[in-house]
Structure 1
Amino acid sequence: MTVFKEDKDELVIVIPSDGELHRNTMDFLQECGLQVRPTNSRGYTGTIPTMPGVSVLMQRTADITNKIEDFSADVGITGLDRYLEYKTDDRYVGKIVNDLGYGGCEFVLAVPESWIDVNGLDDLSDLTNEYRQKGLDLRIATKYPKLLNNYLYDNGIYNYRIVAVSGALEAAPAAGYADLIADLTATGTTLRANNLKQIEKGTVLKSQACLIGNPESICNNSNKYDLAMKLIDLIKSNIRAAEYYRLTANVQCDSEETLASLVLSHPDISGIHGPTVSRLHSKSNTSWFSLSVVVSKSKLSECVSQIRDCGGISIAASKVDYLFNAEVVENNQVFID
């Protein structure tokens, strides 16, 4: 077993060590107030100065799930695809947050564009049967055999052979060592550039960055549990806040009650639990109030218009960095699978 830490009460988070997922994870953690500071020039370990007691381990994305399972780390960030492909024991690894809001891609089946009669999964199933009648197996190149096998079996496709490939998959059909591929794609551009096309019902998995952890190491150590809850709280609250803006405005009105009733008559600007209204100390003899409300980001323009309808001026919109719930996790359920 690989041992990274000496302090048994220290919480270790493992994150990708390179590539786009590394850069996006570093940016994401910084947005959450969890900026990583490398502790050596090689950049494989680090700390989070805002959270004493937490250490950072950087590893290949393909190794992160195993690092959680073998107790080298307690929590980690990886792609959902990697997590599902490499986990071996539900006792020692589980999901905490399914979607961190970045790293989106799809694991898809793609065939040569020249296969004009193969456009969907049913066509592919027929083709595997034709190959079998000829004593052949359809060859599929992939880096995710577990995910692919489960998907094809669930869809009644059995006559094929997995070709393990460590490098670029897109060249496999043209090079002749596979008939089609199953690979990750974000835009489909690389597939098209290699004369490959996705097929209908050929999306095996929609993936994104997720937060995972070891239930045994977290839940059986009170110090690790407390640190994990603080980390999870900041991450979840930051994700939750991304959907909202805070609007503030000055409004002339007879009373706080009148203004509150007026605002509450507009559902979009009623806020999550209602508006905050407070009296302004104005130089004039008129009654002015400050209105503050958290609104949906998707309805920002409509909300500004509705505040104007209520007489609002000097309307300011600000990004909400965190939106904390009453509980970090619902019903003390840290893991969601």
Structure 2
Amino acid sequence: MKLLIRGIYSTALAKLLIDKGFKIIRPTKSQMERFGLTNLAIEPDAVITDSSDRHFIEVKGVLEVVNILTSEMRNFFEDLIILWKMKDMNNSCVRIGFPFEAMKKLDELRSMVTYTVPWHHYCRAGGETLSSMVSFAEDLVERGLVSPEEMNKMFEEQVKQFTPKLGSKIRIVHVKLDGGRIILGPGKVIWRGNETIKVLRRIMSSGIYDGLGIPKQVGDYAVTEARKLDMWTKTSYYSFSGNFKGAYYNICTPVAFYPDQIHYFDLEIDVVYLPNLEVKIIDREHLEQAFNQEIISSKLFEKALKQAEKISYERP
């Protein structure tokens, strides 16, 4: 089973898949150095590349090989998001999303091969600026200019600074389990502390608030509260005059903080808090559907369900 692997996850995935019996062909220079590979200029059975937003990989190739590869990855990672874009008798294309826990395991895999800063893949997925920061830090260690222990400590401190700054304008990147992206904002960070932020957005359209079933009016505003790596965000809606309209808890994969955005995969199930103080869990059937379609694992399904039940009881 011959693979061509490119992108920010390539070293970690090569380590995992070589250990599972796959062969890497047309390796990059770094892949040859790290794994002792030779340049086999033959056609691959499957190709792995990054998605444009860097939070997914795309696997394209022979159906049987893609199926085996996907199964191996599903067994290794507990929280993957697996989407089938195309499938016929001979070929397949799969998108595989990496939430935070998967990125941690990717870091562990990569560190078995070469020095890897903490939060390596988390930062790589955050854009070119953060990706360059990772490369610079790891190069300093590889050249012997900074010890691994010292760099680990410095880098951990640097990542803590990713919490969006007070007063900054950021986006909320909400990735659906069908692969679609909903980008909310820009919103303004109006509160920041203890790796938690509150983001204010003005409502510019009318209609009905999803899940709450109450009128949405121009002039309303929303305040979204998010804490780094929590599996939920809370958005409270208010009228122009400040009257509370309701709150919506979105259950998601651990929230990633970047200087200009927060990012997560929506797990479909939600909790709503109505003005009459009624609290209810909604859209559980969508979570169940994602599990039945093998988009998410049983463990991620259980985590999402337990999180929704906890919120409905505690009302944080």
TM range, normalised to the smaller chain? under 0.3
Q: TM-score, normalised by structure 2?
A: 0.26
Q: TM-score, normalised by structure 1?
A: 0.24
Higher fraction of strand? 2
Q: Report which of the two structures shows the higher radius of gyration computed on alpha carbons.
A: 1
Greater RCO (Cα-Cα under 8 Å, separation 6 or more): 1
